[in-house]
Structure 1
């Protein structure tokens, strides 16, 4: 496999992972309840909106490399990986999102290295920006649980 194809594949995995986390976060936005409802409802909305916008950026980056972005629901779901178990409580939702952001951050670190190996600085920059956002969200969610 060429470095360019490895880079495209890594971007595709990030697209799928972001899609999965988007769907999970949006569902939690709809279903959260409890004493922290307003705060979590707003937080989840901010997160899913950011993830939705990121999908377009990542897909367009794949297109700019001359490949077709995964476009069917089946492709995106397959790239998203295993679906997390449904969470019912607000605490379980936050814990599941922490796990989801951590998993995607790990995948982003790998994808950044792959983009750098391919000499694709624009992709590395995009992915680094995404990693920064996920790390900030992780910090805020973890801090809110103390």
Structure 2
């Protein structure tokens, strides 16, 4: 099974997931303030989910007969723009929301690409990822009120 458009979409999702993983892990390490415990735990749960997703997405690329990016440079080449450094907890949440929204948009496009190619498995995987990102965005927005 080889579909270049699906493989390209999966590779972009993989790169953006890696970028958000690194960003979120950094926030976990560096968050401080009155909401430290809550945010530290939230960022940890997010980066753990993102780490697991990397493997699923990369293996789906392999199912298509393509090679997944195998170096940090390869992943970064597909990662999209990096968020500016955040110092405050509020900035971290704002930038995390933006990161989740950006990957959600990429996922919507990738889902359509997979559906057009008749690749229900990739579309399902990507839809599950989209649902998770949308829920995390909602939860972070709700915590800011």
Per the normalisation by structure 1, the TM-score is 0.97
Aligned length: 144
Task: Provide the secondary structure at the position in 1 that maps to 2:34.
Answer: coil
CA distance, structure 2, for counterparts of residue 117 and residue 51 of structure 1 = 26
The residue number in structure 2 matching 1:52 is 51
The residue number in structure 1 matching 2:122 is 123
The residue number in structure 2 matching 1:33 is 32
| Deviation for aligned residue 1:69 | 0.5
Structure 2, unpaired ranges of 5+ = none
The residue number in structure 2 matching 1:68 is 67
| Deviation for aligned residue 1:39 | 0.1
Q: 2:103 aligned with 1:107, yes or no?
A: no
CA distance, structure 2, for counterparts of residue 71 and residue 126 of structure 1 = 21
| Deviation for aligned residue 1:92 | 0.1
Structure 1, unpaired ranges of 5+ = none
Tell me which stretches of 4 or more aligned residues in structure 1 moved more than 4 Å.
Answer: none
The residue number in structure 2 matching 1:85 is 84
| Deviation for aligned residue 1:82 | 1.4
What pairs with 1:6-45 in structure 2 (closer than 5 Å)? 6-45=5-44
CA distance, structure 2, for counterparts of residue 79 and residue 67 of structure 1 = 15
CA distance, structure 1, for counterparts of residue 102 and residue 80 of structure 2 = 11
CA distance, structure 2, for counterparts of residue 119 and residue 71 of structure 1 = 27
| Deviation for aligned residue 1:78 | 1.2
Per the normalisation by structure 2, the TM-score is 0.98
| Deviation for aligned residue 1:95 | 0.1
Q: Which moved more, 1:67-76 or 1:20-29?
A: 67-76
Task: Provide the secondary structure at the position in 2 that maps to 1:70.
Answer: coil
